[in-house]
Structures are given as structure tokens and as C-alpha cells.
Structure 1
Amino acid sequence: MEKVLCNKANYFSEQLGYDVTIITTEQKGRDNFFNFSNKIKFIDLGINYDDDNYKSIFVKLYESNKKRKIHFLKLIEILERIKPDVCISMFDRDFSFLYKIKDGSKKILEFHFCKQMKVIEQKNIVMKVIQYIRIQTWRNIVKKYDKFVVLTEEDKHDWGNLKNITVIPNSISQTNNKQAKLQNKNILSIGRASYQKGFDLLLKAWAQSTKKHQDWTLTIVGGGNKDYMIELIKKLRIENNVILKQPTTEISNEYLNASIYVMSSRYEGLPMVLIEALSYGLPIVSFACPCGPKDVIGDNISGILVENYKIKELSHAINRVIENKEERLKMGNEAIKKAQCYAEEIIMKKWTELFATLNL
């Protein structure tokens, strides 16, 4: 999400000459990971929700509610001072009250996941029901915004008949001049070590594939606690066929050194990694999880979609791309063509057209 925000804010500022301010709640003096334009202003409110680490759920709720009120008041003060024409929430803690602030700006809400993400995350049936009810309350809030932006047609359908909803995908900031040669015996997957990314499913699928392709390697790049991944790799005895790497700003090298991109997520919004992988000409093997893969590679020309959670089928799809060099190269060429649909100038035009409908 930060990379998407960076690309979009830089374009607004550098290409369109917009006055851009980004408001955060817990930056704590840390530098941004990505390179934002020097023209962009940053304001941190110092709310620090993430500092809440209370043993009692009731104390945590009390403290979070108190911080939310402080957040609300500080945001009112900032917006009334800078007088923006448009104010966009990325569906964080401010989404429940930003629309209430009467500073004269148009309010846009954008959602970077799939609607059912909170339900999918839960393993307990009771918690699934609670989260399902919670999501239904979101709908009433969403309707209060001037515009609600989702990333895929699939997610738009899930939200139902909302008059203010529109689809604007993520973009790639630039078209790559380099294309992966698809000769290296290396498979790439990128993402934070979390339940969402499904690396446990990927490693199990990869363990099946390595029985036939012991000369190939799976490289997983991303942050988070990888202890569970390390334990699973040892248990599956695939230490010689898996490389775990930390996040890097030089991610292009990882794409160029790969021959296949695999995504095993349980859910997404519109994964930037799939679009970036396409732009480097990488064939995709992905679960057909909600949401994103169906929009990006639903035609099965630039990659292969596999039914969600089907580990054996994921392994078979990986094997198919490994074993069929001609098909792999064809998918790679189609991937380059597909990536053009997400070119920055095309996607950012959708944003300027959206602003035009707001009668600023």
C-alpha cells in the first residue's frame, strides 16, 4: 500500500502539479521506505495506535477509543488549516470518521484488500461470524463518502449495488526496459511472512515439485517473522531448494533473475507484485484467490490460475511451466502486453477523471 501511495502521490505532485500532503498517525520520525517526491508534505499526528499492548481487551478498547477521539480532533484542525480540495482515506482508522469532517473537501475512500478479508483471516467459526457482521456495518459508512474506490471488478461485485463505487486498479510507475530471459532455474514469490500470503501452502506445493525438479530454486522475498517458514522448510526437507530474503529497494533484480512468479495468497486486493511480474515478462502461477488474480490473469494467457488452497494443483501448474519452455516464453511475451493495461498514465487518467466528476 505504501508503494502504491508513493507512486500515486509522486505522479500527482510531479506530473500534474498538485499540492500533496500525506497525513500519518505513527511515523515516529522514521524515514519512508520508498522515495517520495520532495514536493510532498508530510504531517504525522503522533497518535501511535500501534503502541497499544494491553493484556485486558477492555482496557485496549478504552485506550483505542480515546486515541480515536484525539485523532479525529487533530485531523479536523489539520484539514481546516490546509483546506484540501480532495481528501482520500486508505481505509485505515480514519475511515469511520473522515466523512464527518466539514472542511469543504470532497471525501474519497479507497480499499486495497478484498471485502471478505477479515472473515478469511479468522480460523474460528464464531470469529468469522463476528467479522462478517462487522463488514456489514462498513457498508453503511462507505455509502457516506463522495466516492468509494476499489481495485477490481470482482470486489466491486462483492460490495453490491453502491451508487458511489468505482474501480481504479493499481498502476506500475514505469514500463520496464528490461525483460527477464526466463532461463534461470529460479521461481520468485514476494510478500510479508503472514497468514494472508499463504507461504505455508506454497512451500508444501514446492516440496512436491522439487521431487521432479531438484535443480530449481524458490526465492521468497519479504519481511515479517519467518520462523514458521524456516521450521516448515526443515520439516519438508527442502532447505537446498528455498532461499529466504529480506525486503529490498532493488527488487527489479529479483524479477530479472526469475523465470516464473508464483502467488499463493489466501486473499488480496490487487497485488502489485503480479502487475510488476507481468511488466518484467514473468509467467504467473497463482491461486484464484479473492481478489485480483482473476482480473489480472483471468484469460490464462499470461499465466495459470489454480483453485484456491489446492496445493497439489499449484504444484502441477508450477511443474507445467517449468517443463514447457516454449509455453513459458509465450506466457512471458503475453505478460508484457498485459502489463500495458496498468501503465501509470492510463490508471492516473482514471483518477483525474474521477476528480472531474466531483465538481471541485
Structure 2
Amino acid sequence: MFLGDYSMKIVLAYFEKFIEMSGGIERVCCNMANAMAARGHEVSIVYCYGRSGRPFYALDSAVKTYNLMAEHPDKWKNPSLGQCVSGFNKVVREVLRIFSKSQAREWNESCKGRMIQQEIKNRIDTIQPDIIVSFRYETSNYLLHFAHVKVPVITMFHMSPDFILPGAPKGEIRAIAESSRAQVLLKRDIPVVERFCPGAHVVWIPNAVPQYEEHADPGAEKKTYTIINAARLNKPQKRQHLLVEAFAGLAKDYPDWRVELWGGGNDSGASYAKELREQIRKYYLENQVFLKGESTHIINQYKKSDIFCFPSAYEGFPLAMTEAMSSGLPVVGFKSCTAVVDLIDDGRTGVLVDDGAESFAKGMKILMDSREKREKMGAQAREAMKGYAPEAIWNMWEKLLNEVVSGE
């Protein structure tokens, strides 16, 4: 039920290759669009990519999608906006990079902003939204400083600002500060954004976590037990190789256990998949460790699993992990990973360990050795996620949208 007095026109702006990605941002975008459309609001998603279509995740037919690149297709030489930057501007960027990575990125973003500023103006003028929710700080920069939109903008953070903001281009810092609101996923992130972006009006709204009636049974006795990881294949951040390495030291003693890695990726993900397969062969784990690809219904895999392992280096508010917890799985993660350390109660909903494959293996062993611990921690993880139920989170979002539109 809408908390305000009228239906709003809402634009979700994500000037990336929205339709071909299956990550957390794309999922949040579709979930938010669906939730706001179900509450009677007119919702549009505006993206920027050389190909048009429907996204990976389910999207309500009432939600309209607009591709900025589709408006003048002859203008673009590459599906990706970043690859459309001219050769001269790329040379300038690389020269600047010698002296300052931040200045190089600032130049690159200014080139992209100039290329799409007219398309942004045309589309926003056509839709005439009451409010824009920007899914990236770069997008906010394009909206506010290149297209000069007069519509209120809310900038979302999907990653820890501690990771994003040091060295960020001045234009993006300014865009965050000038947004009507900057939304963060963890309360601890509020002072971080305020420190880096003086004047920013920061609010906390976490991600919505589905609540499942059917759930995993990690305490059950089985012939085969499953450790699951769900994340895009990404070596610097998701670090699935650490899970494989950790399991390699346990596999011989636990022949009835298997590891399933669920997730896809871009070109770098394909290269990493090859590396992971080589690692699996190196440790002779072909019959115990499996790369399973992408799934639109990962809950079906969680229900059959016993432990969720998440060796990420950094996160914002990991949907895969929290959904696994909501499905009743205990988690193994690193103490060093922001968000993971905030969302796992060590010894109660999962096991937190020091960084490194050896420590990760010790954490896995704690749960692999005890059906009782898996069952108890899984039940407590499920209970802990009730505080992030979608209805409550979308109420928070709707209230915020109404406040901004009403000028409160």
C-alpha cells in the first residue's frame, strides 16, 4: 500500500549494460521496479547499452525500459559506452593516468557524460518523472553535471563506500553531495559518506531479503553433503579460488562432501572459470567440485545444500549470502570482509575466520564436522534475516521517495 498521497513517476537510472548482466545491482533494480509498480507507481528503467531487450531477472510487464543508445544507433561504434570514447580522448586519459588515476577516471567519465548528455535530457524530458533513483554514482554525475536534470536524484551505494570513495573523481563526489539523498546499505557507512562527501544527506536502507517458507535442512543425515557458493566469477572480489583451495585440503577426509560454484561473468569471468577448472584438475577434485553456471532460481539449490561459503574480499550487502541465510544455511566468511562481518554473528549464524585458504578450511571443518551446529546456526541465520523482509524494506524506500518528492 502506498504510504503517500499519490502515485509517483519513478525512473531507475542505471547507465550500464543492464540487460546482459546478472549481478546484484541488476537484481536490486528489477526487484525495486517490481515492488514500486505493484504499489501503483509508474516505473521506468533507463539504461545505456548497444543492445536492447529484457533483463536476466524477472521484470513486471508494467515496468517500461528505455535504452539511451537505441535512440540514435548510428552514433555508437561499440555496445559499451566506455568503448565509445574516442582514440584522442583515450590517449589523454592514459597520459593523465601517469600522474593521477583519479584525474584519468575523471576525464574518462567526463567524455562519457558528454556523449550521452543529450540522450539523457531527451529521455527525462519525455518521461517527466517525479524522482530519479540512480544506481551508480557515475550515473548521478551524468544526470546532475552533464544533463543538468532538475528532477530530485537519490544516489544508491551498492558497495562499501570505504572501498569506493578514496580516490574517487571530484565530479562523482560532488554528485553524491548534491543528490537529494545518498542511500547506504549499512549504518556504519553513513559517517564514511559524510566524511568524503561533505553536505551529503545520507540515509540507511538495507537490501530486501526474500523470506522462504521452504528452507534448507543442513542438519539432516545424507549420502552426499553440499557446500555452495553463489556469486559472479570474479577473482579480485569473489575469490572462489580460495574456496577450492580450502576444500582441497579437506576433500580426502570428506569424500561424501561436494562443492558447487554457481555464477557467471563477463570476459574476465570466463577467463577465471578456466583458471578455476585448472585448479580443480590440479587438486584432482573433478568428482567433488563443480562449476554450475548461472541460475535464476538459486533458492532451489540452497534448499538442497548444507553450508554456504563466501570468500569475498569486499561487499556492500551481499544478496546471495543473505538469501542463503534466509533459506536456513550457515555461512563461512572472512572477518576482513565489510558487510560479511556485519551480517554474520560469529558462532551463532555462521563462522568468521581470518583471511586465507587455511583459515577458511578450518571454518568449513567446524560446520562439516557437526550436523547439530549446521542445523542450529542455519535456523538462527534464517531468523536473523527476518529483519530484512521485503515489505519492510520497500516501505522504507516508498517513504523516502515520498519525502523527497514532497520536499520534506
**By the TM > 0.5 criterion, same fold?**
yes
> Counterpart in 2 of 1:134?
168
Structure 1 residue 216 corresponds to structure 2 residue 257: yes
Of 144, 148, 169, 2:206 maps to 169
- Which consecutive unaligned segments of at least 5 residues does structure 1 have? 119-130
Aligned counterpart, 1:123:
none
CA contact (8 A) 2:85 2:111 kept: no
Structure 1 residue 156, shift from structure 2 partner: 2.9
Rounded Cα–Cα distance in structure 1 between residues aligned with 2:398 and 2:263: 33
Q: CA deviation at 1:30?
A: 3.3
> How many residues get paired?
345
Say which is worse superposed, 152-161 or 73-82, in terms of deviation. 152-161
- From 106, 112, 115, the equivalent of 1:70 is 115
Contact 2:314–2:338 (Cα < 8 Å) also in 1: yes
Tell me how far 1:297 sits from its aligned partner: 1.2
Partner of 2:186: 152
- The 1:44–1:19 alpha-carbon spacing in structure 2 relative to 1, beyond 3 Å, is same
* Residue pair 1:221, 1:246 contacting (<8 A) in 2 also: yes
Verify the 8 A CA contact 1:85 1:106 in the aligned structure 2: yes
TM-score for both structures, normalised by structure 1: 0.88
Displacement after TM superposition at 1:317 (Å): 0.8
2:9 matched residue in structure 1: none
Match of 2:394 among 319, 342, 348: 348
After TM superposition, give the deviation of residue 145 of structure 1 in Å: 0.8
Tell me what 2:159 maps to. Answer: 113
Question: Paired residue for 2:13?
Answer: none
| CA root-mean-square deviation | 2.5
Q: 1:83 to 1:136 in 2, by over 3 A?
A: closer
1:69 & 1:319 partners in 2: Cα distance?
A: 53
Asked if structure 2 preserves the Cα contact closer than 8 Å seen for 1:268 and 1:289, the reply is no
1:204 equivalent in structure 2? 245
AA at the equivalent of 1:237: Y
AA aligned to 1:209 is: L
- Does the Cα contact within 8 Å between 1:259 and 1:282 map onto a contact in 2? yes
Post-superposition Cα deviations, 1:172-207, rounded to whole Å, max 9, x if no partner, equal: 2x4212111113510000111112101121111111
Distance, in Å, in 2 between the alignment partners of 1:54 and 1:243 is 42
Aligned to 1:22: 45
Query: Is 1:2–2:1 an aligned residue pair?
Result: no
Q: Structure 2: how far apart are the matches of 1:27 and 1:154?
A: 38
How has the CA–CA distance of structure 1 residues 260 and 63 changed in structure 2, closer, same or farther, with 3 Å as cutoff?
closer
Which one of 297, 314, 317 corresponds to residue 363 of structure 2?
Answer: 317
1:49 maps to 81
Question: Which residue of structure 2 aligns with residue 333 of structure 1?
Answer: 379
Structure 1 equivalent of residue 19 of structure 2: none
User: Partner of 1:82 in structure 2?
Assistant: 127
CA 1:316 to 1:157, structure 2 compared with 1: closer, same or farther past 3 Å?
A: farther
Report the Cα distance in structure 1 between the residues aligned to 2:363 and 2:191, rounded to whole angstroms.
28
Distance apart, 1:286 and its partner CA: 1.0
Partner of 1:124: none
1:95 corresponds in structure 2 to 140
Partner of 1:126: none
CA contact (8 A) 1:181 1:256 kept: yes
Q: 2:225 aligns with which of 171, 185, 188?
A: 185
- In structure 2, do the counterparts of structure 1 residues 339 and 67 end up closer, same or farther at CA, with 3 Å as the change threshold? same
TM-score by length of 2: 0.78
Higher alpha-carbon deviation: 237-246 or 350-359:
350-359
Q: Is there any run of 5+ residues in structure 2 with no aligned partner, and where?
A: 1-24, 70-75, 95-106
In the alignment, the residues of structure 1 paired with residue 361 and residue 86 of structure 2 have an alpha-carbon distance, to the nearest angstrom, of 42
Partner secondary structure for residue 343 of structure 2: helix
Given that residues 350 and 377 in structure 2 are in contact (C-alpha distance below 8 angstroms), is that contact kept between their aligned partners in structure 1?
Answer: yes
Measured in 2, the distance between the counterparts of 1:296 and 1:107 equals 28
Residue in 2 that maps onto 1:122: none
Is the 1:154–1:295 Cα contact (8 Å) retained in structure 2? no
Q: What is the deviation of 1:270?
A: 0.7
Task: Sort the Cα spacing of 1:205 and 1:158 in 2 relative to 1 into closer, same or farther, 3 A.
Answer: farther
Sequence identity of aligned pairs in percent?
25
CA distance in 2, matches of 1:52, 1:209: 48
Instruction: Answer yes or no: is the 8 Å Cα contact 2:227–2:309 preserved in 1.
Output: yes
| Cα deviation 1:134-167 (Å, max 9, x = unaligned) | 3676433311111001111233343344541111
- The Cα of 1:50 is off from its aligned counterpart by 5.2
Instruction: Kindly provide the amino acid, as one letter, of the partner of residue 19 in structure 1.
Output: E
SS for the counterpart of 2:368 is helix
Asked if 1 retains the 8 angstrom alpha-carbon contact of 2:137 and 2:176, the reply is no
Partner of 2:293: 246
Whole-Å separation in 2 of the counterparts to 1:60 and 1:245: 39
Q: Name the CA distance, whole Å, in 2 between partners of 1:237 and 1:52.
A: 44
Q: Is the 8 A contact 1:21 1:41 kept in 2?
A: yes
* SS of 2:140 mapped into structure 1: helix
Moved more, 182-191 or 152-161: 152-161
Amino acid at match of 2:211: T
